[in-house]
């Protein structure tokens, strides 16, 4: 039977042509092309591998030449670190040291007339001061308090002490004069 399609061309359903299967001749050309690409890739990667191998050997030879210097440098770094640790310990000791010349100067600076020192002892961070006071006006206690307040109010003197306090006070008569002996005890930080 014969079909006649009278529908105008623009309204007709267009049938898509399916792709023609690959020709076996075209397929035969693709195989050698793929093989040659693989061979070229292998040759290129072989050349890159040989080049990198030469570079590795050259760098390894340079490393062996520089290895003694690296060992010396490592030893110097260890020694430098030890010196740095020693320096930090010394810096800490300098910061924590007590300037006793300054402390003794402050003791004499705040010493009122009528008080004299009998003994100053520092043993295992324990400070002890023994002194005697004499006053014709019987103001021994006010002289001791004046001395103590001067020391405690001076930040330069008292900053190194945890505690600084008055100890026992002992009154005596000596040649018709009243004298008082006292002690001052402190503990260093």
Q: The domain spanning residue 174 has which CATH number?
A: 3.30.1360.100
Q: What is the pLDDT of residue 32?
A: 86
Binned at pLDDT 50, 70 and 90, residue 141 comes out as: confident
> What is the reported pLDDT for 178?
82
- Both 92 and 108 in one domain: the answer is no
In a domain, 18, yes or no: no
Angstrom distance (rounded) from CA 127 to CA 69: 54
Do 64 and 138 lie in one domain? The reply is: no
Whole-number Å distance between alpha carbons of 133 and 150: 16
CA-to-CA separations, 22 to 16, 17, 34, 82, 124, in angstroms, rounded: 18, 15, 16, 79, 103
Both 167 and 152 in a single domain?
yes
pLDDT over 70 (residue 74): yes
**Residues 106 and 183 reside in one and the same domain:** yes
What pLDDT was estimated at residue 20? 54
CA separation (Å) from 86 to 26, 78, 79, 90, 150?
A: 82, 12, 11, 6, 38
* Euclidean distance between CA atoms 187 and 111, whole angstroms: 20
User: Residues 106, 176: one domain?
Assistant: yes
Q: Are residues 85 and 118 in the same domain?
A: no
Average pLDDT over residues 22-39: 82
Residues 52 and 128 in one domain: no
In angstroms, rounded to a whole number, what is the distance separating the alpha carbons of residues 179 and 170?
8
Query: Are 112 and 159 in a shared domain?
Result: yes
Tell me the pLDDT band of 60, cut-offs 50, 70 and 90: very high
**Position 67 in a domain:** yes
- Number of Cβ atoms within 10 Å of the Cβ of 161: 19
Q: Which domain holds residue 75?
A: 37-97
* 51: its two tokens: 């080049």
Q: Of 72, 97, 122, which closes a domain?
A: 97
Cβ atoms of 143 and 115 within 8 Å: the answer is yes
Q: Tell whether 109 and 163 lie within a shared domain.
A: yes
Domains identified in the chain, total number: 2
Residue 119 lies in a domain: yes
Mean model confidence pLDDT for the chain: 87
Per residue in 75-120, pLDDT (tens digit) is: 999 999 999 999 998 888 887 777 888 888 989 998 988 899 999 9
What is the widest separation between alpha-carbon atoms in the chain? 162
Residue 89 and residue 67 share a domain: yes
Instruction: State yes or no: pLDDT of 22 exceeds 70.
Output: no
Percent above pLDDT 90 for the chain: 38
Please indicate, yes or no, whether residues 84 and 104 belong to a single structural domain of this protein. no
Please tell me the predicted confidence (pLDDT) of residue 188. Answer: 85
Helices 140-153 + 100-109 axis angle, to 10: 140
pLDDT higher than threshold 90 for residue 71 = yes
**H helices of the chain, where?**
24-96, 100-109, 140-153, 155-158
Pair (118, 72) in one structural domain: no
């Amino acid at each position: 039977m014969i079909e006649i399609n009278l529908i105008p061309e623009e309204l007709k359903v267009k049938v898509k042509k399916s792709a023609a299967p690959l020709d076996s001749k075209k397929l035969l050309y693709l195989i050698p092309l793929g093989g040659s690409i693989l061979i070229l890739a292998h040759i290129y990667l072989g050349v890159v591998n040989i080049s990198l191998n030469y570079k590795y050997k050259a760098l390894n030879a340079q490393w062996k030449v520089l290895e003694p210097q690296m060992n010396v440098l490592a030893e110097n770094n260890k020694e430098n670190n030890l010196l740095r640790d020693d320096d930090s310990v010394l810096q800490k000791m300098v910061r924590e040291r007590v300037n006793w010349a300054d402390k003794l100067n402050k003791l004499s600076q705040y010493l009122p007339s009528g008080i004299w020192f009998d003994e100053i002892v520092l043993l295992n961070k324990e400070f002890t001061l023994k002194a005697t006071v004499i006053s014709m006006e019987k103001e021994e206690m006010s002289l001791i308090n004046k001395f103590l307040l001067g020391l405690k109010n001076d930040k330069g003197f008292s900053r190194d002490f945890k505690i600084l306090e008055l100890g026992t006070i002992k009154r005596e008569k000596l040649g018709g004069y009243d004298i008082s002996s006292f002690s001052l005890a402190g503990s260093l930080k």
